[in-house]
Structure 1
Amino acid sequence: MEDSLEVKYTRDINCLREKDKNVRINSIKKLTASITKEPQDQVQQLFASKLKGPVLELIKDPADKCKELSIDLISSLLKQNKILYDDIHSIITSLHGRLGIDPCQETCEEVRISEMKLILDIMSLYSNGLQPMISEITDILAKLGKDKCPQVKIQVSSAIMFICGQGLRFSSKKLLEGIRANLSHQQFKIRSCTLEAVGTLCLHESGLAEELFVDFKKTQIDRRSEVRQMAYGVMTDILTNMNYVELKKIEGKFIYLILGGLNDEECFDKNCEYLEKIFKKIRKSAEEYGENPHESLDKNWLAVRNLKEIINISLVDIQEWTIQDLYRSRAVMNIKNAILMAKDNVLPHIEPVLKVLLKAYSTSDDPKYTEAIEAVPQVLSQVCSFKESLEILDKVITESLASSEKAAGLSLLSKMLPFQNYNIESLKLVMDFIQSKDFLSDTHLYIALHKIAFSLLNSFAEFIKPYVHEIFFMLLTIENTLKNSVYPTMEILTQACGLQNVGYLYSLQLPNTLPKIITNYKKWESHSSERTQFRNLITRSQQGIKEYWEDVLSVIIENCAREKDSEVRYDMLICFETILDTEELKENVWKSGKRVIIDIISTTSAWKVGASSVQIRISSLICCKKLLNYKGVSAGIINDAWECFFGGIKGCMDDDWDNELRLSAIQCVIPLLEQYGNELTIKNVEETLKELMKRLDDSVNFIRALTTYPIRLALQVFISLNQEYEALNKNIRVLFLHLDDENNELQHGVFIILQQILAWRPQLVIDIAQEKRPKQLHPERIDSLLSGNI
Structure 2
Amino acid sequence: MDKYTEFVAAVRRDINCLSDRDRMTKKNGLVRLDKTLRKESDHTLVSRLFAEELHKPLLSCFGDGMEKVREVALGLTMHLIVETKIVTGEVLNDVLPLLLAALLGRFRVLPFPESSEELRFRFLECLVELTKLPGLDVSPYSHDLFDGLSKALTDSFPDAKKQACALIADLCKIIPPNKVARSGKLLLPNLLANVQHQHWKVRKSSVECLMYLISASTENYTMLEEIFPILHQLLNDRHPTVRHALAQLLIKLVSTGLTSHWAQERIDFEAEEEQLMQFDRYEHRLLYLLLNSIVDQDEVHVGKPALEGFTGLADLASEYWKKSEVRRLRRAKNMERAQAKVEAQLQAEQVEGGSTVASSSSSTEEEDIDAEVVDDHGNTEEEWQFPDFDSIIDAHALNSSNVMDLKSHLPSVFHDASTSATTVPNARMCFYVARHAERLLPQCLGNLIQWTSDLRIGAARLLKIFLVFLHRNAKDKVDTILVHLYKAIEDEDAAVRKSVETCAQNLSVFLQDPGLIVAAMSKHLNVNLSSSAYLPDKQAAQHWDGQNDEYWGETTVNRAKVRVSSSSEKNKEKPFVAISVENKRQVLKILAQILTVVTYESLSGEILSQVIRFLEEATTLDELLATIVELLDGMLIANSKSASSKKRTTASTSSSSSSSSSSSAKLSVQLVETSAEKKKALQEEWPRLFDILLRCKSSVDPMERNSNPEVAHILEKSDAAIQYLASEICGCDVPDVYRMHLSSQLAVLLENADQQQWPEQSPKRAIFDLLVKNSVHAISPEHLDRIVPVLAKQASTALGAPRHQDDEKEAQGVSARARVDILGILHFLVIQSKQHDVVKQGLQKHALFLFEEMLMPNASWRPGQSHNKIRKATMVCIHQFLELKLISIEDLSTVFPDMLPILKTCMDDSWSPDNRMVATLVVTLVLNTLPEQQKIQDEHLRDLYPELLKRLDDSQDEVRVVTCKAFVSFFRALPEKWSANLYQYILTSLFIHFDDPNPKIQFAVQECLEAALHHNLEVFIQEAEKASPKAVHAKQLEDLIAVAKNLQECG
1:183-194 alignment to 2 at 5 Å? Answer: 183=195, 187-194=199-206
Matching of residue 707 in structure 1 with residue 959 in structure 2? yes
Residue by residue over 1:741-763, the C-alpha shift from the partner in whole angstroms, topping out at 9 and shown as x without a partner, is: xxxxxx12112124325644576
Residue by residue over 1:174-227, the C-alpha shift from the partner in whole angstroms, topping out at 9 and shown as x without a partner, is: 533323355455554444333322222331311234554454444445555444
Q: Residue 133 of structure 1: CA displacement?
A: 1.7
Structure 1: stretches of 5+ with no match in the other structure:
59-65, 741-746, 774-781
Distance of 1:353 and 1:371 partners within structure 2? 14
What is the aligned counterpart of 1:716 among 943, 968, 973? Answer: 968
Equivalent in the alignment of 2:854: 600
Distance of 2:153 and 2:699 partners within structure 1? 64
Equivalent in the alignment of 1:770: 1029
Q: Residue 278 of structure 1: CA displacement?
A: 0.9
Equivalent in the alignment of 1:254: 286
Equivalent in the alignment of 2:913: 662
Q: Residue 451 of structure 1: CA displacement?
A: 4.9
Distance of 2:861 and 2:634 partners within structure 1? 48
8 Å contact from structure 2 (residues 153, 160) kept in 1: no
Equivalent in the alignment of 2:315: 280
Distance of 1:222 and 1:197 partners within structure 2? 17
Equivalent in the alignment of 2:350: none
Residue by residue over 1:439-487, the C-alpha shift from the partner in whole angstroms, topping out at 9 and shown as x without a partner, is: 2564255555545545555562244333333333333333333651323
Relative distance call for 1:416 and 1:11 in structure 2 (3 A) is closer
Equivalent in the alignment of 1:229: 244
Equivalent in the alignment of 1:154: 162
Q: Residue 135 of structure 1: CA displacement?
A: 4.4
Q: Alignment partner of 1:240: what SS?
A: helix
More displaced stretch, 503-512 vs 432-441: 432-441
Distance of 1:586 and 1:619 partners within structure 2? 20
Distance of 1:424 and 1:153 partners within structure 2? 59
Q: Residue 656 of structure 1: CA displacement?
A: 4.9
Equivalent in the alignment of 2:223: 208
Q: Residue 270 of structure 1: CA displacement?
A: 3.1
Residue by residue over 1:91-125, the C-alpha shift from the partner in whole angstroms, topping out at 9 and shown as x without a partner, is: 3453236xx536x7877765654555455455556
Q: Alignment partner of 1:304: what SS?
A: helix
TM-score (normalised: structure 2) = 0.63
What is the aligned counterpart of 1:7 among 4, 13, 17? Answer: 13
8 Å contact from structure 2 (residues 524, 576) kept in 1: yes
Equivalent in the alignment of 2:708: none
Q: Residue 138 of structure 1: CA displacement?
A: 3.3
More displaced stretch, 643-652 vs 711-720: 643-652
Equivalent in the alignment of 2:450: 320
Relative distance call for 1:283 and 1:328 in structure 2 (3 A) is closer
Relative distance call for 1:11 and 1:106 in structure 2 (3 A) is closer
Matching of residue 731 in structure 1 with residue 859 in structure 2? no
8 Å contact from structure 1 (residues 494, 500) kept in 2: yes
Q: Residue 254 of structure 1: CA displacement?
A: 2.9
What is the aligned counterpart of 1:572 among 815, 822, 841? Answer: 822
Matching of residue 589 in structure 1 with residue 719 in structure 2? no
Q: Residue 158 of structure 1: CA displacement?
A: 1.9
Matching of residue 336 in structure 1 with residue 346 in structure 2? no
What is the aligned counterpart of 1:551 among 778, 786, 789? Answer: 786
What is the aligned counterpart of 1:630 among 884, 887, 895? Answer: 884
Q: Alignment partner of 1:486: what SS?
A: helix
Relative distance call for 1:53 and 1:655 in structure 2 (3 A) is farther
Q: AA paired with 1:348?
A: D
More displaced stretch, 86-95 vs 361-370: 361-370
Q: Alignment partner of 2:957: what SS?
A: helix
Q: Residue 277 of structure 1: CA displacement?
A: 1.5
Relative distance call for 1:432 and 1:132 in structure 2 (3 A) is closer
8 Å contact from structure 2 (residues 951, 963) kept in 1: no
Q: Residue 580 of structure 1: CA displacement?
A: 1.8
Q: AA paired with 1:544?
A: I
Q: Residue 359 of structure 1: CA displacement?
A: 3.3
8 Å contact from structure 2 (residues 294, 307) kept in 1: yes
Q: AA paired with 1:429?
A: I
Q: Residue 431 of structure 1: CA displacement?
A: 0.9
Q: AA paired with 2:110?
A: I
Matching of residue 310 in structure 1 with residue 452 in structure 2? no
Distance of 1:535 and 1:201 partners within structure 2? 77
Equivalent in the alignment of 1:164: 172
Relative distance call for 1:686 and 1:320 in structure 2 (3 A) is same
1:403-482 alignment to 2 at 5 Å? Answer: 403=579, 404-417=582-595, 419-423=597-601, 426-432=604-610, 434-435=612-613, 439-440=617-618, 442-443=620-621, 446-447=625-626, 449-451=628-630, 453-454=632-633, 457=636, 460-481=678-699
Q: Residue 31 of structure 1: CA displacement?
A: 7.0
Relative distance call for 1:726 and 1:374 in structure 2 (3 A) is farther
Equivalent in the alignment of 1:366: 494
Q: Residue 710 of structure 1: CA displacement?
A: 0.9
Distance of 2:495 and 2:871 partners within structure 1? 46
Residue by residue over 1:278-309, the C-alpha shift from the partner in whole angstroms, topping out at 9 and shown as x without a partner, is: 12332343455426854345333312322322
Relative distance call for 1:549 and 1:107 in structure 2 (3 A) is farther
Q: AA paired with 1:666?
A: M
Residue by residue over 1:350-408, the C-alpha shift from the partner in whole angstroms, topping out at 9 and shown as x without a partner, is: 33323333333355763653454444455545555444444344344435422444444
Distance of 1:685 and 1:123 partners within structure 2? 125
Relative distance call for 1:275 and 1:784 in structure 2 (3 A) is farther
Q: Residue 131 of structure 1: CA displacement?
A: 1.8
Q: Residue 618 of structure 1: CA displacement?
A: 3.8
Distance of 1:110 and 1:684 partners within structure 2? 118
1:14-25 alignment to 2 at 5 Å? Answer: 14=20, 17=23
Equivalent in the alignment of 2:801: none
What is the Cα-based RMSD across aligned positions, in Å?
A: 4.1
Relative distance call for 1:687 and 1:332 in structure 2 (3 A) is farther
Q: Alignment partner of 1:299: what SS?
A: helix
Q: AA paired with 1:570?
A: V
Distance of 2:27 and 2:954 partners within structure 1? 107
8 Å contact from structure 1 (residues 354, 396) kept in 2: no
What is the aligned counterpart of 1:402 among 565, 574, 578? Answer: 578
Structure 2: stretches of 5+ with no match in the other structure:
1-6, 41-45, 82-86, 264-276, 329-386, 395-427, 527-574, 641-677, 701-713, 798-811, 977-981, 1014-1019, 1043-1051
Q: Residue 271 of structure 1: CA displacement?
A: 3.7
Q: AA paired with 2:605?
A: L
- The count of residues paired between Structure 1 and Structure 2 equals 748
Q: Residue 641 of structure 1: CA displacement?
A: 3.8
Q: AA paired with 2:107?
A: H
TM-score (normalised: structure 1) = 0.81
Residue by residue over 1:708-760, the C-alpha shift from the partner in whole angstroms, topping out at 9 and shown as x without a partner, is: 431231132245468773542442355256x24xxxxxx12112124325644
Q: Percent identity among equivalent residues?
A: 16
8 Å contact from structure 1 (residues 631, 675) kept in 2: no
Relative distance call for 1:479 and 1:177 in structure 2 (3 A) is farther
Relative distance call for 1:282 and 1:676 in structure 2 (3 A) is same
Distance of 1:225 and 1:785 partners within structure 2? 98
Q: Residue 333 of structure 1: CA displacement?
A: 0.9
Residue by residue over 1:132-151, the C-alpha shift from the partner in whole angstroms, topping out at 9 and shown as x without a partner, is: 5224323314423xx4x543
8 Å contact from structure 2 (residues 107, 152) kept in 1: no
Relative distance call for 1:568 and 1:95 in structure 2 (3 A) is same
Distance of 1:110 and 1:694 partners within structure 2? 108
Distance of 1:68 and 1:221 partners within structure 2? 45
Relative distance call for 1:581 and 1:48 in structure 2 (3 A) is same
Equivalent in the alignment of 1:776: none
Whose helix fraction is larger, Structure 1's or Structure 2's? 1
Q: Residue 643 of structure 1: CA displacement?
A: 6.5
